[in-house]
Structure 1
Amino acid sequence: MNELREAAAPAGTDLLDERSRELADHCAAMAGRLRAIGMRLDQDPDVITEFLHEPEVRFPVQGMLPPEYRSVGEFPARLVEASSTVLGQVVATEQVSYGDPNVLLASPGPSLSGGAVQALADEQQRKRYFGRLTSSPTHTFFALTEPGKGSAATELETTLTPAPGGGWLLNGVKCYIGNGARAQLGVVFCRRAPGPWGIEAVLLDTSAPGFSGELLPSVGLRGARISRLRFQDVTVADEDVLGAQRSPSRRGLYGATYILYRFRPGIAAMAIGCAQAACDYLVTHRPTLPRRDRHRLDSVLDRIAAVRHRTYAVARDIDAGVVDVAGIGAVKARAARVAEDATRLVAELLGPACLIEHPWVEKTYRDVRAFDLMEGTTNLHAMSVFQRLLRDRAAPQPVTERAVDGAARH
């Protein structure tokens, strides 16, 4: 698999400093191994348990953990620290996804729920959550999306009501939740009271009575284990309500929007990694192309470089305390589109039997179609850009609690 990286000298990386480039090189070296694992995950996502000891699988999770919970000495500290920023997560995710994004999605670890815990939890909640993740391999979930409302955080129908003997009762259904049916721990967003500030986020152990989860059939990106979750009078203790020490405007809704903005560039990075990998695969297997086809490939490569540059810029801005909500959505939508176009072009130029003769291309062709749906569909992000233009808010806003609250209301 060494040839995987021979053609990959990604353009659009001028925004990276020396440490970020070193991180990119470190993750790029994992691509061959991750691609082989990804092919197996497509057949059975549960085989990830066979590879949890592999450094290629363990490293990408380290940057998602708070410093005190990382595996000290197992990986270079400077690279783990670099991967903990939004830009670092984007760089690492792109290179890992060049190998296979299913490995990252199938692996145990904090995922989006860890971001919610870091944003909202008190010290005891943080210790319980991250302590459990580091004591044994633990899959987690982030349950926001609902069957009838999608990921509209202000329209949730899952309820949190007072229990007769104290504490709370959780009732409702969540849908399209990554790793939900096989997770041991997760964060559920629910409604305690009317209005946007009536949203709460609660920690949930999936062994709780009344919880059930089922896997949904998936055409691609099967490592994500997309699931439907049901809650029927699930007991939630007071200490499991995240951010109870905060005012209502700084709790559930704030956590949902803040985390989505920070993690959305990572979905763009996954799409970019897959798109670049597809183009490089084509060059490896058809090094000589007719001039017209070469121009078509170059056009896609230029688009990949452009969206990579914008994704890095958006990530760097978030690290600097600036969030451009419409811009974040725009790069995610553009990355998803170019990944689809890249795999479509590769399949065409490799010939009519390509999806049979090249199993990796067939799998990637299926996988990248998921990115349009993850973290908001393209039409929603296009609407966000349009609304931003109408409001003439071209200048990015600081990432403060007030800015995130204002974005959530829109």
Structure 2
Amino acid sequence: MADDGWASMAGRPPAGTDLDDRLRPLDRYCWELTDGLREAGRAVDQNPDAITDHLGLPVIDFETQCTLPPQYRTPNGHPAGILAAGASQLGRVITGERFGYGDPGVLLAAPGPTLSGLAVQALADAEQRRRYYERIAAGPTWTFFGLTEPRKGSAAIELETALTPDADGGFVLTGEKRYVGTAARAQIGVVFCRRAPGPWGIEAVLLDTSSPGFEAELLPMVGLRGARISRIRLAGVPVEPAQILGRQRPPSRRGLYGALHVLHRGRLGLAAMAMGIAQAAADYVRQNRPNLPGQARWRLDEVDERIAVLRRLVHRAAADVDRAVVNVHRIGAVKLRAAELGEEATMLAADLLGPASLVEHPWLEKVYRDARAFEFMEGTGGIHRLSVFQGLIKGDFLAPLSPAAATENAGA
């Protein structure tokens, strides 16, 4: 596969990291699992439904196993220690970059808990977790995370989707969600909605897509087509009290808390995938033009250096989360920079490979499109710039925050 730049990454530890004895084997193992990922990515780009033909890829099973609680895992030959390492936030970042280097579209197209699983982890009681994870573990199950709305974006405290009581002691769910990954294919997911005014009136509901009144349709996409970004319409969907996640929790630790818990961790995962794209684009140029002239070589070296610096920052932010220290401003900053760097690296690759590069290099044309999606996923660049500014004004940007303080700052 030398023609797509793959060989130049083989066996190379990522620059800008100091992986310990637990994480180095994870990094090597993830690299070994990426065989066949780009071929699957090309197929999924042409037809998102083609993901069903590639569910046997070990990388897809590994991703699912890492995101399941230990009692629901079926190791399937994956070393237990590596699965455990891959389940941490830092492990999620390491796997995200390696697999993003291969093809992020396949990861986003694959079944598994993904973001809805993070919401269940944060909010669900024991019975809700059991029902959710037993279903995931039973076979390939696609899930969705329904937060973004047409008029409000992903502003959690401004949600309009309504959860209202019915005459039988339950509820009905009415509203619309947009730009929701895999919703048009999913069997189960989490919808964020409003039951009462104010930030503590937000709830998270575990929903089966076969419920009456639930409708999802695929939106047209230019890049990352495997993500199957969708629109959801909720026309009086019946909801039982047992479907409300964390219903026994205090209001301040329910819907809004869960949404922010997911976004902070999801942003780090997306940053890792965007870094993978940036590194893949740089390596692709070196593989296809090994004798770049001086100025061009300097521009490419600069991108490598920026990726290494960003990688260290992303790893530090992820390690902080593993220590229950969540600085939302720094997380926003690294997600912003990773999305920008993914775009810049693919643009540079197209420039250095010549005017016809996007015609002559099909892989580059695809990744050029894919990289643009990260600007819009889990908050646009403008949102993260505002968060960085607020962190600097408050003096929080450089200081670690407790989980409680992070929630208060993010919800303000």
TM class by smaller structure:
over 0.9
Q: Tell me the amino acid that sits aligned with residue 96 of structure 2.
A: T
Aligned-pair distance for 1:18?
A: 1.8
Partner of 1:170: 173
In the alignment, is the contact (CA less than 8 A) between 1:347 and 1:355 conserved in 2?
yes
Partner of 2:247: 244
Give how far 1:73 is off. 4.6
Q: CA deviation at 1:10?
A: 5.2
When structure 1 is superposed on structure 2, of 391-400 and 111-120 the one drifting more is: 391-400
Of 53, 67, 88 in structure 1, the residue corresponding to residue 56 of structure 2 is: 53
Q: Distance in 2 between matches of 1:283 and 1:395?
A: 36
**Residues 61 and 396 of structure 1: CA distance in aligned 2, closer, same or farther (over 3 Å):** farther
Letter in 1 for 2:249: R
* Deviation at residue 395 of structure 1 after TM alignment: 4.5
Q: What letter is aligned with 2:409? A: A
Residue number in structure 2 paired with 1:88: 91
2:119 aligns with 116
**Do structure 1's residue 347 and structure 2's residue 350 form an aligned pair?**
yes
Distance 1:355 1:304 in 2: 23
- Deviation of the 1:376 alpha carbon: 0.5
Out of 397, 403, 411, the position equivalent to 1:409 is 411
Distance in 2 between residues matched to 1:127 and 1:299, nearest whole Å: 48
Deviations 1:352-406 (A, max 9, x none): 1111111000000000000011111111101111111111224544443x22431
Contact 2:332 2:387 in 1 (8 A): yes
2:328, 2:261 → 1: CA distance?
Answer: 10
Q: How does 1:393-408 map to 2 (within 5 A)?
A: 393-400=396-403, 402-408=404-410
**Distance in 2 between the 1:298 and 1:10 partners?**
17
1:199 alignment partner AA: I
Tell me the TM-score normalised to structure 1 length.
0.97
2:33 aligns with one of 30, 33, 42: 30
1:367 maps to 2:370: yes
List runs of 5+ in structure 1 lacking aligned partners.
none
Closer, same or farther: CA 395–345 of 1 in aligned 2, 3 Å: closer
Aligned to 2:335, the other structure's residue is in SS state helix
- Percent identity of paired positions between Structure 1 and Structure 2: 55
- Count of aligned pairs: 409
1:76 aligns with 2:79: yes
What's the CA shift string for 1:49-87, capped at 9, x where partnerless? 111122122112211111111113531101100000000
Structure-2 residue corresponding to 1:6: 8
Query: Aligned residue for 1:387?
Result: 390
Residue of structure 2 in register with 1:255 after alignment? 258
Contact 1:168 1:236 in 2 (8 A): yes
Do the aligned residues in 2 keep the contact of 1:186 with 1:205 (CA within 8 Å)?
yes
Q: 1:397 touches 1:403 (CA, 8 Å); kept in 2? A: no
Counterpart residue number, 2:301: 298
Give 3-state SS (helix, strand or coil) of 1:126's partner.
helix
Residues 143-292 of structure 1 aligned to structure 2 (within 5 Å):
143-292=146-295
Contact 1:254-1:408 at 8 Å conserved across structures: no
Q: 1:76 to 1:7 in 2, by over 3 A?
A: closer
Runs of 4+ aligned residues of structure 1 deviating over 4 Å after TM superposition are none
CA distance in 2, matches of 1:382, 1:304: 19
Range with greater deviation from structure 2 (17-26 or 354-363): 17-26
Residue by residue over 1:293-350, the C-alpha shift from the partner in whole angstroms, topping out at 9 and shown as x without a partner, is 0001111111111111100010011111111111000000001111101000101111
Contact 2:327–2:406, Cα closer than 8 Å, also in 1: no
CA distance in 1: counterparts of 2:91 and 2:265, whole angstroms: 12
Distance 2:151 2:84 in 1: 40
Between the aligned partners of 1:13 and 1:393, the Cα distance in structure 2 is 25
SS of 2:267's equivalent?
helix
Find the aligned partners of 1:395 and 1:272 in 2 and give their Cα distance.
22
**CA distance in structure 1 between the partners assigned to 2:221 and 2:364 by the alignment:** 17
Provide, for residues 28-68 of structure 1, a one-character-per-residue CA deviation record: whole Å limited to 9, x for no partner: 12334101100100001111111112212211221111111
Confirm or deny: 8 A CA contact 1:254 1:404 kept in the other structure. Answer: no
- Secondary structure of the equivalent of 2:375? coil
CA 1:164–1:117 in 2, change beyond 3 Å: closer, same or farther?
same
One-letter code aligned to 1:129? Y
Which among 107, 110, 134 is matched to residue 110 of structure 2? 107
Per-residue deviation, 1:7: 4.1
Asked if 2 retains the 8 angstrom alpha-carbon contact of 1:146 and 1:173, the reply is yes
| Structure 2 Cα separation of the partners of residues 13 and 299 of structure 1 | 14
Q: In structure 2, how many angstroms separate the alpha carbons of the residues matched to 1:12 and 1:69?
A: 34
Q: Look up the equivalent residue of 1:52 and give its one-letter code.
A: L
Amino acid across the alignment from 1:115: L
Residues in 1 aligned to 2:362 and 2:14: alpha-carbon distance in whole angstroms: 27
* C-alpha deviation, 1:140, in angstroms: 0.2
Moved more, 29-38 or 223-232: 29-38
1:135 aligned to 2:138? yes
**Partners in 1 of 2:372 and 2:392 — Cα distance?**
28
* Aligned-pair CA distance for 1:283: 0.5
C-alpha distance in 2, partners of 1:92/1:326?
23
